[in-house]
A and B are shown apart, each in its own frame.
Chain A
Amino acid sequence: MDIGLLSFIIFLPLIVSFILLVLPVGMKITRNIAFVTTIIVFLLSLSIFFKFQLTDYMQFREFHPWISSYGIYYSLGVDGFSMIILMLITTLIPLGYLFLWKTKKSKGYWASMLLIQTGVTGALLSLDLVLFYFFWESMLLPVFMIIGIYGTGNRIFSTLKITIYTIMGSLFMLVSILYLGVAFYNEFGVWSFQLSDLVQITTLSNFERTLLFFGFMIAFAIKIPLFPFHTWLMQTYSNSPTGGVFILSAIMAKLGIYGIVRFVLPLFPHQYVEFAPYFVGLGVFGLIYFGIAALMQQNIKRMFAYSSASHLAFITAGIFSLNAYGMTGAAFLIVAHAMATGGLFLLTGTIEYDLGIRSISGLGGIAKKAPFLTVAFALMLLCIVGLPGTNGFVSELLIIFGLFEYNHYVGVISALTVLVAASFMFWLFQRAILVKTDNDVSKMKDLDIKEIVGIFGLAAVIIAMGLYPHWFLYKIEPTIQHYLVDILKVGIGS
């Protein structure tokens, strides 16, 4: 085992970021070094992907005491589910850099981007709940700065709203974590916040477990966001700079889903099963509700915010379907949606960069000016719409399978997903990109070579995952089976 590989992946951006902030270097050098750092991290995670073994247990474990007197450990590990999200994060971030390249933001912007990376990968790889909470909160700070300093419109208000909203949600989780720690101490006589220890608690009553379950779920539901905790999203997305919205939509929202699977499922298997119908219902409802709401939005980012909420609701329905189809589909849709939505936000950022911020009706006729951008936009859009041949289709199909197995009627209703995104996406494409209008778009420039390489590389992965999904899925299959059989079934049985 490669000792320290995960730590290196987590902390390299942090260290580089501090060094850059301290040293008297300019914006460009900061940016270039930051980019190289993300590439190194990408290569490291690629090595994890290839060394990853086809088993269901945690790999690349790291385990050191941190605050020993309270049993808080520095504990890291990766399994199939977190591995694909790790690949996703480390692939998307350098790609985002290629698009943010030309934005002449200051040094602090790039340093913040690096800090975000540490936060999200740390939260992803932590197996100790306190450590997880630490990263979970710390990833919010740089986002706070990016939106607050570099955002547009009513940015301070948006920043406050997202921060207070999510911190409030996290507090419930923190209380729940502490409660679990105390319960463990009472039962076993030692302190521990290790996930593998906390799942062994037997003394909690059903009522306590239900409360704790919702303590966790509120934090994650706000982050995802699930109905009715979603209103911060639309405002934040529309006021964020491209980098911020890219990170928020493509990566952070997915960590909410990840948190449910990683922590809520093993800690509260009974409640997970008991409340699954509500979350499946909420998911399918959200899919349609947000999808319809997206249709008449006048701001592209706001529309994508609703679109994201719609897909994330669908993913949530998938993870609560309690079977391999839904779970695998959800894992796959996390990746597919992150890629496509991330790509769309980056492309929208390019349009904003050239033309300024405009409503949809203020755009139009971009296709003639920027053919490469148009093709890239279309490919990302088709993935969102779930066209066969893209990974979006595979994941949506699997979730429909999963929901159908869960309940036939829910499955049939969830098939409406084939109509939901198509209705607003194609209309948007028509108005914003294709049709010529009187609006002046002469300043629109096509993608430069960096951007073309980045976005078409992403498109190639999207299509490869759509044409040969098995090659990407077989590595997470054992993990998913492990969740379902060993954790969920055994958890209920005990």
Chain B
Amino acid sequence: MNSSLLAWIILIPFISSFVLGALYLYSISIKKINDTIFTFLAILAPITSFLIGVAFFLSLKNGATDYMYEPYTWLGVNGYIISMGFLGDKLSIFMVLFVTFIGSTIHVYAAGYMKGDEGYGKFFSYFNLFMASMLLLVLANSPIIMFIGWEGVGLCSYLLIGFYFTEPLNVVAGNKAFIVNRVGDLGFIIGLVIMFFYVGKLGFDYYALEDYISLVPTSILTIIGIALFVGAMGKSAQIPLYVWLPDAMAGPTPVSALIHAATMVTAGVYMVARFHFLYDLIPHVGEFMAYIGAFSALFAAIIAMRQTDIKKILAYSTISQLGYMFIAVGLGAYSTGLFHVFTHAFFKALLFMGAGAVIIAVGHEQNIFKMGGLRKKLPLVYSVMLIATLAISGIPPFSGFFSKDEILLKAYRHHEYLIYGIGLFTAALTAYYMFRLFFVTFHGKNYKQKEMHYLSWSMKAPLLVLAFGATVAGFVGLPEVFSQTNLIDEWLKAYSGGALHVEHTTEIMFMGISVVVGLAGIVVAYVKYFKYDFNKEIQESGIVYNKFYIDEVYHFIFVRGIQKLSRFISVDVDDGVIDKAVMSLCGGFINMGRRIGRMQCANTRVYAFFMLLGISSFSLYLILKLG
């Protein structure tokens, strides 16, 4: 295969985005363009990229070596060169496959969801820019090029979250996403710069970095590792930079599906896996990462238990599931983390699309306690949501079970018992809050239910595809007890962190514990919410419902603090001190000028006196100088 095709995986959605954007501007200001044209152009792009990705996949599978394509020198300063380059290895092609696959299904779904929207063309322009950025992030062959995609993803999330920009809340949420991500990017860029100066001068692509990274002292590696992880915290919404993600729900629901499943949030996990050669050398940073992941998982799960907005619950569940992934990659089990990224992509996209279908059907209501009894009215959505909920709750044989269980097993095997315990407990909470959502939304009786809106096939078909995926995706990473070959570990051998052999009986025992814990969560949710009485108005309150007031604290410290500082600088310091000093200096000159001006009094005698004074002093000077 021609390696230049790697660039086309990115270029196709990029060009599509550009064309769509131009057509959209044309459409709104000159002549209306039919939405079908937009749909066609939009959906073509991710599907084409997916097909190219499949071709690369097959080629790599048949033993081809990694593809490297460097079209031009991006930057050359001081004799060091950074190329615009793309790398198609097993990791990046794996990412490309599921990003474009899930992305394609979301595109189809969005075509139905956004139908008739004023900004239809704009939406897909942003969508494909999002895909292009994510693919650039994944296919880049050096951290700098990765950073271009990395920030591009952040920009697109801003654009899509604030899609309905006339409403202040949406734009504020978009700004928040961008700025919080930028805090992460600050970490990323610091890591990048340090890395460049310590090893990058020998070559800044991943191969070279991998070869020379061991030359760097561990203390520096630790700083680099933490700095890069701060970047991952931002993108993948981990404590303390998770705050943007729940607010990101302001965007249309397909956006949430795209951000949470296929793109953006997985970038942090991917980045850590990509820098496995770095993190392998600094296991203490990895352990820190695993703890951050574990606490994020627990913390978000606790908050999710009390939320009433269907999308907010799912948002917190994403943070929680990402926490699991960081447990895995932190402990060096990169392929396990990526396995969970993979399964999560299916069931989370499905959950969001299902939630979107529900929201559309009940007329843009998002409070689950105002839904209820949708089972009969939305049978298809009901069944796919059941599959997805079972998958995220870790019930076999659905996909989430295998990946989550493997993470827990790895944590146990690394003797991280606290992390294991937190993970297990969180699994119970997950099952509980997800089934709370499920029961409240679909079961029980709700007499207030109004007319249902019709769901188009372009929304239903992707649900079916993803439901199938959410069911079977776990089989690519079967545990040893069921199958000799774990396809995922096999494919990502370089990232598996070494095989961990476990006794089959132990393995089965751990699975049993996981299942029991998950079921326990479901049972509690069943008891509390299965026959929920919608007649009494639910009013959640308290510290958990209010998300531990973290947003308020952040707002007070950072936003208010900086605003006060800004006012202080511009009013008190600049106007009050500096400009005042300048003006009083000026005023001094003016006064002096007035005094000097008084000499010009139109009195001939005074002039004559000055003239005399001048001539005599000049003569004196000449005499002294020459004499």
Q: Which of B164-172, B258-266, B284-292 contacts A (4 or more CB under 8 A)?
A: B164-172
Q: Is the CB of B29 within 8 A of A388?
A: no
Complex CA–CA separation, A444 to B574 (angstroms): 34
Q: Which of A117-125, A254-262, A414-422 contacts B (4 or more CB under 8 A)?
A: A414-422
Neighbouring B residues of A430 by C-beta, 8 Å: 162, 168, 171-172, 175
Q: Is the CB of A435 within 8 A of B168?
A: yes
Complex CA–CA separation, A234 to B569 (angstroms): 13
**Which of B29, B168, B565, B579 is the one whose CB lies under 8 Å from A446?**
B29
Complex CA–CA separation, A419 to B166 (angstroms): 25
Q: Is the CB of B193 within 8 A of A404?
A: yes
B115 at interface (Cβ–Cβ under 8 A)?
no
A253 at interface (Cβ–Cβ under 8 A)?
no
Q: Is the CB of A324 within 8 A of B77?
A: yes
**Which of A289, A294, A419, A473 is the one whose CB lies under 8 Å from B77?**
A473
Q: Is the CB of B179 within 8 A of A419?
A: yes
Known: A234-B574, A418-B185, A418-B189. A388 touches B76 (CB 8 A): no
Known: A375-B25, A388-B152, A473-B75. A436 touches B186 (CB 8 A): no
Taking the closest CB of chain A, its distance from the CB of B39, in whole angstroms, is 21
B578 at interface (Cβ–Cβ under 8 A)?
yes
Q: Is the CB of B148 within 8 A of A389?
A: yes
A1 at interface (Cβ–Cβ under 8 A)?
no
Tell me if A's interface is mostly helix, strand, loop or mixed. Answer: helix
Q: Is the CB of A423 within 8 A of B562?
A: yes
Taking the closest CB of chain B, its distance from the CB of A401, in whole angstroms, is 6
A8 at interface (Cβ–Cβ under 8 A)?
no
B417 at interface (Cβ–Cβ under 8 A)?
no
Contacting residues of chain A (337-391) with chain B, CB-CB under 8 angstroms: 365, 367-368, 371-372, 375, 382, 387-389
B139 at interface (Cβ–Cβ under 8 A)?
no
Known: A231-B579, A394-B75, A435-B168. A415 touches B183 (CB 8 A): no
Complex CA–CA separation, A253 to B193 (angstroms): 29
Neighbouring B residues of A232 by C-beta, 8 Å: 582
Neighbouring B residues of A419 by C-beta, 8 Å: 179, 182-183, 186
Complex CA–CA separation, A328 to B75 (angstroms): 11
Chain A positions 143 through 165: 1 when the CB is less than 8 Å from some CB of chain B, otherwise 0 = 00000000000000000000011
Neighbouring A residues of B582 by C-beta, 8 Å: 165, 231-232
B178 at interface (Cβ–Cβ under 8 A)?
yes
Of all chain A residues, which has the CB nearest B193? Answer: A404
Q: Is the CB of A468 within 8 A of B147?
A: no
Taking the closest CB of chain B, its distance from the CB of A249, in whole angstroms, is 18
Chain A positions 218 through 239: 1 when the CB is less than 8 Å from some CB of chain B, otherwise 0 = 0000000000101110100000
Of all chain A residues, which has the CB nearest B168? Answer: A435
Neighbouring B residues of A325 by C-beta, 8 Å: 77-78
Taking the closest CB of chain A, its distance from the CB of B66, in whole angstroms, is 24
Of all chain B residues, which has the CB nearest A422? Answer: B182
Chain A positions 264 through 306: 1 when the CB is less than 8 Å from some CB of chain B, otherwise 0 = 0000000000000000000000000100111111000000001
Neighbouring B residues of A408 by C-beta, 8 Å: 194
Neighbouring A residues of B76 by C-beta, 8 Å: 470, 473-474, 477
Known: A323-B78, A324-B78, A427-B175. A297 touches B166 (CB 8 A): no
A56 at interface (Cβ–Cβ under 8 A)?
no
Q: Is the CB of A368 within 8 A of B166?
A: yes
Neighbouring B residues of A292 by C-beta, 8 Å: 562, 565-566, 569
B73 at interface (Cβ–Cβ under 8 A)?
yes
Chain B positions 564 through 581: 1 when the CB is less than 8 Å from some CB of chain A, otherwise 0 = 011101100011001100
- Count of chain A residues with Cβ under 8 Å from any Cβ of B? 60
Complex CA–CA separation, A180 to B579 (angstroms): 33
Complex CA–CA separation, A423 to B180 (angstroms): 10
Q: Is the CB of B72 within 8 A of A468?
A: yes
Known: A415-B186, A430-B171, A468-B72. A404 touches B77 (CB 8 A): no
Q: Is the CB of B78 within 8 A of A367?
A: no
Neighbouring B residues of A477 by C-beta, 8 Å: 76-77
Interface centre among B28, B151, B167, B563 (most CB of A within 10 A): B151
Complex CA–CA separation, A40 to B178 (angstroms): 43
Complex CA–CA separation, A289 to B562 (angstroms): 11
Complex CA–CA separation, A368 to B119 (angstroms): 11
Known: A295-B562, A422-B178. A469 touches B152 (CB 8 A): no
Of all chain A residues, which has the CB nearest B175? Answer: A426
B197 at interface (Cβ–Cβ under 8 A)?
yes
B74 at interface (Cβ–Cβ under 8 A)?
yes
Instruction: Tell me how many residue pairs across A and B have CB atoms closer than 8 Å.
Output: 138
**Which of A297, A328, A423 is the one whose CB lies under 8 Å from B570?**
A297
B60 at interface (Cβ–Cβ under 8 A)?
no
B190 at interface (Cβ–Cβ under 8 A)?
yes
B202 at interface (Cβ–Cβ under 8 A)?
no
Q: Is the CB of A296 within 8 A of B175?
A: no
A405 at interface (Cβ–Cβ under 8 A)?
yes
Neighbouring B residues of A418 by C-beta, 8 Å: 182, 185-186, 189
Interface centre among B28, B72, B84, B574 (most CB of A within 10 A): B574
- Count of chain B residues with Cβ under 8 Å from any Cβ of A? 53
Taking the closest CB of chain A, its distance from the CB of B596, in whole angstroms, is 16
**Which of B74, B148, B190 is the one whose CB lies under 8 Å from A415?**
B190
A454 at interface (Cβ–Cβ under 8 A)?
no
Q: Is the CB of B186 within 8 A of A405?
A: no
**Which of B75, B152, B158 is the one whose CB lies under 8 Å from A389?**
B152
Neighbouring B residues of A372 by C-beta, 8 Å: 25, 29
Complex CA–CA separation, A203 to B162 (angstroms): 65
A398 at interface (Cβ–Cβ under 8 A)?
yes
Complex CA–CA separation, A230 to B78 (angstroms): 33
Q: Is the CB of A328 within 8 A of B586?
A: no
Neighbouring A residues of B72 by C-beta, 8 Å: 468, 470
Neighbouring A residues of B84 by C-beta, 8 Å: 467-468
Q: Is the CB of B77 within 8 A of A293?
A: no
Chain A positions 94 through 124: 1 when the CB is less than 8 Å from some CB of chain B, otherwise 0 = 0000000000000000000000000000000
Complex CA–CA separation, A164 to B583 (angstroms): 11
Chain B positions 5 through 49: 1 when the CB is less than 8 Å from some CB of chain A, otherwise 0 = 000000000000000010001001100000000000000000000
Contacting residues of chain B (531-569) with chain A, CB-CB under 8 angstroms: 562-563, 565-567, 569
B529 at interface (Cβ–Cβ under 8 A)?
no
**Which of A382, A394, A435 is the one whose CB lies under 8 Å from B166?**
A435
Contacting residues of chain B (55-110) with chain A, CB-CB under 8 angstroms: 72-78, 84
Complex CA–CA separation, A325 to B75 (angstroms): 11
Q: Is the CB of B172 within 8 A of A400?
A: no
Complex CA–CA separation, A119 to B189 (angstroms): 40
B155 at interface (Cβ–Cβ under 8 A)?
yes
Taking the closest CB of chain A, its distance from the CB of B611, in whole angstroms, is 27
Q: Is the CB of B566 within 8 A of A435?
A: no
Complex CA–CA separation, A196 to B248 (angstroms): 60
Taking the closest CB of chain A, its distance from the CB of B566, in whole angstroms, is 4
Taking the closest CB of chain A, its distance from the CB of B83, in whole angstroms, is 9
Neighbouring A residues of B162 by C-beta, 8 Å: 430, 434
Neighbouring A residues of B21 by C-beta, 8 Å: 375
B491 at interface (Cβ–Cβ under 8 A)?
no
**Which of B189, B562, B586 is the one whose CB lies under 8 Å from A400?**
B189
Contacting residues of chain B (469-496) with chain A, CB-CB under 8 angstroms: none
B468 at interface (Cβ–Cβ under 8 A)?
no
Taking the closest CB of chain B, its distance from the CB of A169, in whole angstroms, is 12
Neighbouring B residues of A297 by C-beta, 8 Å: 570
A-B contact pairs, 17 of them (CB 8 A): A165-B582, A230-B578, A231-B579, A231-B582, A295-B566, A368-B166, A371-B29, A388-B151, A401-B197, A404-B194, A404-B197, A416-B186, A418-B182, A419-B182, A427-B175, A436-B166, A473-B75
For the complex of A and B, list the 10 residue pairs with the smallest distance between their C-beta atoms, beginning with the closest: A388-B148, A231-B579, A295-B566, A436-B166, A434-B165, A296-B566, A324-B78, A293-B570, A293-B569, A430-B171
| Further contacts, 18 of them, CB under 8 A, given A324-B78, A419-B179, A446-B29 | A295-B566, A365-B166, A371-B28, A372-B29, A387-B152, A393-B151, A397-B144, A400-B189, A404-B193, A418-B182, A422-B182, A426-B158, A430-B172, A434-B171, A468-B72, A470-B72, A470-B76, A473-B76
